[in-house]
Amino acid sequence: MQLLTIPLIGAFIGYITNVFAIKMLFWPRQPVNLVFFEMQGVLPKRHRDIASSIGEIVEERLLSMDDFFDSVDTPELRHRILDEVVQALKKRLGTTLLRITPDRLYRLIEESLEKIVRQEADRIIHQAIESGRASITAEISVKQMVEDKINAFELNELEVMIRQVSQTELRFIEILGGVLGFLLGLVQVAILLIFPR
């Protein structure tokens, strides 16, 4: 019976240690001054560093401005923009030219303008996107946007978000601590049985 308590105590210690370690990610929010050192949760203490690192990872590996412009500058999107431009042009021409020109002349002007717009617009739209790419990329930093957004969160909001995303994994870590503690306790029992005092 006494040997059985060793793995159970190991499981308890492993579980409690991991629960405490996970809690220490978020708590205490304010630094607590202990005799020899100051204690503060990892997230509250490194909030700004973590935000900066996440922003950097998002910009470098997930969504750079080049990725954004590459996804915007597609033939399909240019075609949709072109259709919108043609429709707007027809509507505008219809309201102004139809009143002052005969119907046949209006149709000829409309068809000619649509043909010119369809021939040139794809290139013009592509050029506009490319010229916007340089200036917008210089002005907008995905890293800074993500960093500012994360820094704007209150710590309790950030904790709730992290727990929502990783609740299963955090629970698994807690249980794994208990399992590992139990297994280490079994190893201790085996050692005690193999090498009695």
128-183 pLDDT per residue, tens: 888 888 888 888 888 999 999 999 999 999 899 999 999 999 999 999 999 999 99
In 10 A of CB 52, how many CB atoms? Answer: 17
Residue 144: predicted pLDDT: 92
Is the omega angle on the peptide bond into residue 28 within 30 degrees of 0, that is, cis?
Answer: yes
Residue of 162, 159, 171, 188 whose CA lies nearest to 15: 171
Residues of the chain with pLDDT below 70 are: 97-99
CA dist 98 and 81 (Å) reads 25
Residue 185: predicted pLDDT: 95
Residue 48: predicted pLDDT: 93
Assigned token pair, 90: 């027809």
**HSE of 162, CA atoms in CB hemisphere, 13 A:** 19
> What are the extents of the domains in the chain?
2-194
Residue of 108, 110, 70 whose CA lies nearest to 88: 110
Assigned token pair, 188: 């201790």
